Amino acid sequence: MIKGIIFDFDGLIFDTETHQYHILQEMFGEHGSELPLALWQNEIGTDSGFSPFHYMEEQIGKPVEHALLAEKYEEKFLSTLSLEKARDGVEDYLQMAKELELKIGLASSSSYRWVSGHLKNLDLYDYFHCIRTSDHVEKVKPDPALYIQAAQCLELHPEECLVFEDSAHGAMAAKRAGMGCVIVPNKVTHTMDFCEVEHRLDSMADMPLKDLIEYVSSLKADR
């Protein structure tokens, strides 16, 4: 029986990832280069240590001013995000989870400061009973630690949790933690090669949470 839901953050609740890629791609274009989507996807949902500006240097064959580019990138990124809202259906899911008396958690490979700040700006912070981020674990996704800790914090067993993810690394972390997973990819993650999951949605607005939980629960009953 599903007693709790656990959300990823970047790209799922708040589509930082699409804007992030488009801004970087624009900056690469200004330097006569390109950041392949397939390469950038390896960084989504985890922390591989990939440096886009070092990659830019390799592609154009000359050094760039990292600090200047990083400052320009951050300014554009934060300015763009200030105008962004939560993805369609997210708040409806949170509200329905509350009505169904489900425990609500969040597990993100980003920092607590980043996640909590944006959740507060979106007026979504108070929905969550537990938030686990990169500040709480030694290894981020695809390692299952974040999801395991989130379940423990919610005082639930892994099989009682349903995870919502947008990235392949995140989905893998959820399945490794022993949890059901529904993926809701965004514009930069929809072509990723995902592991086997319980369901895939283009948007949370496409299917009410109550119906989705009933569907996932029926899958478990058939196994």
Least confident of 77-81, 107-111, 112-116, 126-130: 77-81
- Rounded Cα distance, 50 and 55, in Å: 8
The CATH class given to the 4-15+86-222 domain equals alpha beta
For the chain, which residues make up each domain, given as ranges?
Answer: 4-15+86-222, 16-81
Q: What is the pLDDT of residues 121-159, one digit of tens each?
A: 999 999 999 999 999 999 999 999 999 999 999 999 999
Query: Coil, helix or strand for 206?
Result: helix
* CA neighbours closer than 13 Å in the CB half-sphere of residue 51: 9
Task: Write out pLDDT tens, residues 42-54.
Answer: 889 888 788 999 9
Q: For residues 31 and 44, is the Cβ–Cβ distance under 8 A?
A: no
By annotation, the residues acting in catalysis are 8, 10
